[in-house]
Amino acid sequence: DYIELVHSYPNGYDLIGNVCDIKDNNYTPVNGIQYKYIELANIGKSGEITGCNEQAGDELPTRARRIVHKGDVIVSSIEGSLDGCALVTDEYDRALCSTGFYVLKSHQHNPETLLTLFKSLPIQNLMKKGCSGTILTAIGKSEFEKIPIPLIHQEVQDEIARHVKKSFELRMEAMQLLENAKLTVETIIENGGG
């Protein structure tokens, strides 16, 4: 049903393998150099990266082998965590992420639209359908590349990008306001509540 839904999209569709570059070259961290490392636990519900570990190259786990750049979209390949996808922002440019993610860049969709597609129910279910394995069930690259995704009109992509950027800005503003409130409470407590 989901395949039919994507196939019937009025503007057409194409396969992920044709629409996206999948960056799957391994990067070997350099001993003694500090890296930001993004893992599944660092992915928020709204497609944001909520933080990272900072570790020296020789202390990183062996799965820390994908380098990401601003504008990439990272998508979990592990069943049960397929909705773990996020947009890489300035703050995480040149960070490393786990090999459990697909690192994507599209030449037909802006990053915000790509993120929104991967968060959508139809694409989530098509990914789930492609999962296989026994101990750690995941979607392999060949299955992942065959998933059809709709080709979104540019005007719609521009609107999606505006909404996603605004949500990221508001989230940052909310975090700053919370931090300010915390500091105010701490100051009041330190000054004896007055």
Report the 3 state secondary structure along 69-84: CCCCEEEECECCCCCC
Smallest CA-to-CA distance from 172 within 89, 99, 93, 71 is with 89
pLDDT at residue number 50: 92
- The pLDDT-based confidence of 193 (bands split at 50, 70, 90) is low
Cα separation, 25 vs 156, in Å, equals 32
How crowded is the C-beta side of 40, counted as CA atoms within 13 Å? Answer: 15
- Three-class secondary structure of residue 35 per DSSP: strand
Average pLDDT, the chain: 91
Encode pLDDT of 31-58 as tens digits. Answer: 999 999 999 999 999 899 999 999 999 9
pLDDT exceeds 70 at position 60: yes
SS3 content of the chain, % helix, strand, coil (to 5): 40, 25, 35
> What domains are defined for the chain?
2-152 (3.90.220.20)
For residue 92, give both structure tokens.
Answer: 């995480």
Q: Which residue has the higher pLDDT, 183 or 68?
A: 68
Tell me the pLDDT tens digit for each residue of 85-101.
Answer: 999 999 999 999 999 99
CA-closest candidate to residue 2, choices 125, 151, 140, 146: 125
